[in-house]
Structure 1
Amino acid sequence: MNYFRTAILLAGLTALFMGVGYLIGGAGGATIALLIAAATNLFAYWNSDRMVLSMYGAHEVDARSAPELVNLVATLAGRAGLPMPRVFLMDNPQPNAFATGRNPENAAVAVTTGLVQSLGREELAGVIAHELAHIKNYDTLLMTITATIAGAISMLAQFGMFFGGNRDNNHGPGIIGSIAMMILAPLGAMLVQMAISRTREYAADDLGGRIVGQPMALASALVKISNAAHVIPNEEAERNPATAHMFIINPLSGRGMDNLFSTHPSTENRIAELQRLAAELGSQGGMAAPTRPPQSPRRGPWTAPRGSGAAPRGPWG
């Protein structure tokens, strides 16, 4: 997705925000909504990464508290030509991960405890490489700003339901209009999120597979994460669905409208693209990715016994 199209989509989110403001308060409401959107964008630029990390209870780890995880991120960041990002851990049983930050110099990679407990080292490396690809492509700023604006649209639409339905208000949409706005405005924001996110996931898979050098390790990880996401709930994501597009796999349970309006491409299509990449790179990982559910939790890669002397495997080691 080129930058022009991305700018158009972000402008669409801002226009939607203004449209909801207009329905609530006429031209004055639209102007106020524009000012709020500008302030939201500015605030999101500087603070959205901290907001999202705090929302998911992520805590930062370092070479002392999680040596192998941090060393793995550092190795892959070096291969990607990126500065070392901050590394965060989320205490969540669902295997998943996301990256955030306004630029590569202020980036962070966050993974769940479920991810490090259910994936092998090569699979974990593939996931981290995917997130580093988002950082390298400057997707992280776009994704966090999109999440912030989409969440604001949903809140404004709900606000309009309570204060825009007065029939005596010349500018108000009325009861029926308010109900429609409460449903259609978040739906419109979700569709824009889908347009922004899906192509960027394919691009991050491609670059991530090249960074790690084993595209099928990433494919295997995607299958395990996708299987687990349908059976292991992510309560924070369910409460904040506007952030779902930031994760490597949709963290929502799939109930209701989640699957119909998923911000992610299908896992099958992503694996097919990774298989093509593996063939292109002449990788030995051309076998099909496993489709069994994740195995029972095990010790994470940062808890390996000290002094074990085990050397990391794979071209990234």
Structure 2
Amino acid sequence: MAAFGLYTHIRANRIRSMFLIGGLFLLVYVLVFAGSLAGEALADNAPFNVLLQRALVNMIPAIPVATLVALAWIAIAYFFNRRIISAVTGSYDVTRTEEPALYALLENLCISRGLTVPRLSIMETDALNAYASGMSEGQYAVTVTRGLMETLSRDELEAVLAHELTHIRNKDVQLMVTAVIIAGVISFFGELIFRWMQFTPRRSSQSSSKDKGNGGAAIAFMVALGLVVLAWVLSIVIRFSLSRSREYLADAGAVELTKNPDAMIGALMKISGHSDLPSAPSSVMEMCVDNPRHGFASLLSTHPPIEKRIEALVRHGGGRAPTTSPPSAPFSNSGHDAPVDDTAGTNQVGPWGSANAGPTSTQPGRKGPWG
């Protein structure tokens, strides 16, 4: 699935994601088979091949039931996912009157691409993070933390909002929420099967057929347990692969919207190391700009390292490599940025060379087209 250019990458990634979601849904049926096989192993100590055939036959009536339960779970989450996420994170919606400057940034970005303005929400925490949520146009919302608003400059905050809008534009939000929902179904069914296998006693009739079965029940039981663990691990891997592949595209989309790769780089630098939301579960952290929670050797990280994301923005987005520089003025909710020192940035290089280059300047600037 070779791709050239931002939009073909988005299309190819979306197709791959749909296959991954389909594979995630198939894991539900793997758990159904595991439960059927465990039930046969607990009931009789027949040879393994006999237990396997019985399990395949007995799982057929359970497939429609499992499908209906999974679809009902998805339907409930479809209509109430925003309320659930807001209740868990403590975020609340704000209006243009309450946050005029922040709302104006979001609205201007939407106008530039003809998008419906999503709801704007705020989390009262010092952490630096943001996420998009919702499953349809009427549900979409962009949530930012108070710490992000008080730390980032206007351009950097605009880049973060553009990042989240890109997730909405690319339909990432629906796919991520769907993946989290199906993974929740798998975890729930897997937990039920595991507890059932752990506490259900085997029937006494199995002792009479012990010699005949040659330990087939024990093998079937271990296979069923292995399938439960495999389904759980694969559900995590699929969710993580969905999230990791999307962050690079969302960063690129933010640069496309704002035309300012340095703002996205500056935002990522400030967010790094300050993004954890203690009150948010891991499923919500997977949808954030940055998720510092990861497993061993970053193999179970849902997001690429920020250093890699900055490197991609420098290499492919036209951004400048980050250097140690004075922090930019924080975003002001009054509708204007905080005052900026006029002496700052006097040696910035513009399209025609050094900004202070001229007859009386000591800087070696380039001449423009008119001298």
TM range (shorter): 0.7 to 0.9
Correspondence for 1:72: 105
Distance 1:109 1:258 in 2: 31
Is contact 1:223-1:291 (8 Å) kept? no
Distance 1:307 1:216 in 2: 20
Q: Deviations over 1:141-162 (max 9, x none)?
A: 1111111222232222222221
Distance 2:219 2:138 in 1: 45
Q: Deviations over 1:37-71 (max 9, x none)?
A: 22222233333233222221110011122111111
2:247 is the alignment partner of 1:201: yes
2:272 is the alignment partner of 1:226: yes
Q: Deviations over 1:279-300 (max 9, x none)?
A: 2xxxxx52426699x99xx986
Amino acid aligned to 2:132: A
Is contact 1:41-1:145 (8 Å) kept? yes
Is contact 2:154-2:331 (8 Å) kept? no
Correspondence for 1:158: 191
Distance 1:308 1:207 in 2: 24
Task: Flag the structure with larger Rg.
Answer: 2
Is contact 1:44-1:148 (8 Å) kept? yes
Which of 15, 29, 33 does residue 4 from structure 1 map onto? 15
Amino acid aligned to 1:11: G
Distance 1:289 1:192 in 2: 36
Is contact 2:331-2:338 (8 Å) kept? no
Distance 1:121 1:307 in 2: 8
SS class of match (1:276): helix
Distance 1:308 1:202 in 2: 28
Distance 1:206 1:244 in 2: 20
Correspondence for 1:314: none
Correspondence for 2:52: none
Correspondence for 1:235: 278
For residues 31-46 of structure 1, the aligned pairs below 5 Å read: 31-46=64-79
Structure 1 residue runs without a partner (length 5+): 280-284, 312-317
2:52 is the alignment partner of 1:13: no
Correspondence for 1:275: 314
Amino acid aligned to 1:205: D
Cα displacement (A) at 1:182? 6.2
Amino acid aligned to 1:168: R
Amino acid aligned to 2:186: I
SS class of match (1:227): coil
Correspondence for 2:116: 83
TM-score (norm. length: structure 1) = 0.80
Cα displacement (A) at 1:24? 2.4
Structure 1 residues 76-85 or 170-179, which shifts more?
A: 170-179
Distance 2:98 2:219 in 1: 55
The 1:31/1:268 distance shift into structure 2, 3 A limit, reads same
For residues 43-58 of structure 1, the aligned pairs below 5 Å read: 43-58=76-91
Cα displacement (A) at 1:185? 3.3
Distance 1:310 1:57 in 2: 32
Amino acid aligned to 2:303: H
Distance 2:147 2:32 in 1: 41
Cα displacement (A) at 1:84? 0.8
Is contact 1:124-1:221 (8 Å) kept? yes
The 1:218/1:123 distance shift into structure 2, 3 A limit, reads same
What is the aligned residue count?
Answer: 294
Amino acid aligned to 2:104: N
Amino acid aligned to 1:153: I
Correspondence for 1:146: 179
Structure 1 residues 59-68 or 149-158, which shifts more?
A: 149-158
Amino acid aligned to 1:286: R
Distance 2:155 2:202 in 1: 63
Is contact 2:314-2:320 (8 Å) kept? yes
Correspondence for 1:133: 166
TM-score (norm. length: structure 2) = 0.69
Correspondence for 2:39: none
Query: For the aligned residues, what is the CA RMSD?
Result: 3.3
Q: Deviations over 1:6-62 (max 9, x none)?
A: 221111111112212332245155543322222222233333233222221110011
Is contact 2:24-2:235 (8 Å) kept? yes
SS class of match (1:109): strand
2:332 is the alignment partner of 1:301: yes
